[in-house]
Copies of this chain bind each other. A is one copy, B any other.
Amino acid sequence: MCGIVGVFGSDRAGELAYQGLYQLQHRGQDSAGIVTADGEHWQERRGLGLLRDAVDFAELRGPDGTSAIGHVRYRTAGEVSTQETQPFVAETRHGRIAVAHNGNFPMAAAGRQLLMARGAPVITHSDTEVAVHFIAQAKGVRLTDAIKVAFAALDGAYAMLVMAPGTMVGFRDPYGFRPLFWGRRGKACLFASETCALTHLGVEEVHEVRPGTGVIADADGVREEVFAEYRKRRLCAFEKIYISRPDSVLDGADVSQDRYALGFRLAEEFPADADIVIPVLDSGQWAALGYAERSGIPYRPAMNRNHYVDRTFIKPEESLRDLAVAMKHSITRAWVRGQRVVLVDDSIIRAVTMKRTIRLIRSAGAKEIHVRVSSPPVVSPCFYGVDMRTKRELYAAEHGVQGVREYLGADSLEYLSREGMLAAFGDDAGASHCVACFTGEYPTPVPKF
């Protein structure tokens, strides 16, 4: 989970990139960076934490470049320190390039071995560096040819922006695991991981960067080019379930509509004899509303979040974590007392937070708690950029649905079926989404786990 943004051909490129990136902050809060280019003059700004702390907006206002790319990063466990902060800027045989990447290469370890065997060091812990090496090594008269050559050898999930003097290229892997969009704003060409950022920037007509395709902006305008051989489309189902912002559009539908449909379908598959439907905070909101409206059970957002409890507070010690959760969430008791509650969440990964939530609702006086999850059980790790890396983390994978229910202490627990999910997406044939984490069937080679 990362977010990327690109602006080509605007004299406010840096400022627009900053504003666009702000809209993608939910995709990563661990570091942020923006690289602007004005002919030969490049400026790099990166830092740790939220965009507002990492990059000084004041410096980007006014003419700072005619193109810019930006990146917000979600740090996965094990990575450390400052060096992974993207965008990367590299001097290559194709000239200077800046690279911003959202995705993951499941076989990057093999790529690293190959690079090392050839004598190239890999300095950061980031898969992106491997990709940069492949681009730099690839022979080709034009940068776009080098990119094609490089990624022919790198199976995986990537939505990527490459900025070079006088051009910007946005491209996606042939499966289209991770989203990427583009559009025009006056003479400028803009790219972003989600449509919400482009809409915010005033782009009227938003286009998808199609899987396996590159969108190239340069002095001649904007054109599309096929970058990779055809594959079946595999957009990550979790983008719709959880990752993308509700006001972003994927496959022509607002994500909040997909989530509503998931909840609607869930109510059909697994009705409950209950008095109220409670969403698990913001992320379960739309599914809960769909569930409520389909079932006729009143929707009651009775769970509140205390916005002043931040991650800092949670960090110090395990012993404080329980306290932090209790301080963070509260239940409006009047709605819950003596009621049979349907609790709707979008997914259950580690189960421990849901367990605490159920305890909280129980202590607020609920008579029964029926958990309904608007996606199937996650049973396999993701190798395409979502932070659920090892099977051990996945409670359902280890203990089964019944095990989860017992652990949670819920009166009932049901997950939406895979078919139901795909139907909600309007993809009954299951032909266009990656659902590997629900099935264990991966579209590409993955390492043993």
**A residues lining the B interface (CB < 8 Å):** 19, 22-23, 25-26, 29, 31, 33, 43-48, 50-52, 57-58, 80-83, 85, 88-93, 112, 116-117, 119-124, 129, 132-133, 135-139, 196, 199-200, 245-247, 249, 253-254, 256-257, 285, 289, 293, 298-302, 304, 306-310, 312-313, 316, 323, 326-327, 330-335
How many copies of this chain does the complex contain? Answer: 4
Docked pose: A129 CA to B307 CA in angstroms: 31
Contact present for B52 and A312 (CB under 8 Å): yes
Which of A58, A256, A323 has most B Cβ within 10 Å? Answer: A256
**Known contacts A302-B256, A332-B256, A81 near B90 by CB under 8 Å:** no
**A245 and B304 contact, Cβ closer than 8 Å, known pairs A93-B117, A330-B23:** yes
- Nearest residue (CB) in B for A31 is B82
Which of chain B's residues has its CB closest to A246's CB?
B332
Known pairs A92-B121, A120-B133 / 18 extra A-B pairs, C-beta < 8 Å: A22-B327, A23-B306, A25-B308, A26-B308, A45-B81, A46-B81, A47-B82, A52-B312, A88-B123, A90-B122, A92-B119, A120-B120, A121-B133, A121-B135, A123-B132, A253-B334, A256-B302, A289-B299
- Interface centre among A22, A81, A299, A309, by most chain B C-beta atoms within 10 angstroms, is A81
- Chain B residues whose CB sits within 8 angstroms of the CB of A22 once the complex forms: 306, 308-309, 327
Instruction: Give min CB distance, A110 to chain B, whole Å.
Output: 12
Query: How far, in angstroms, from A89 to B82 measured CA to CA in the complex?
Result: 12
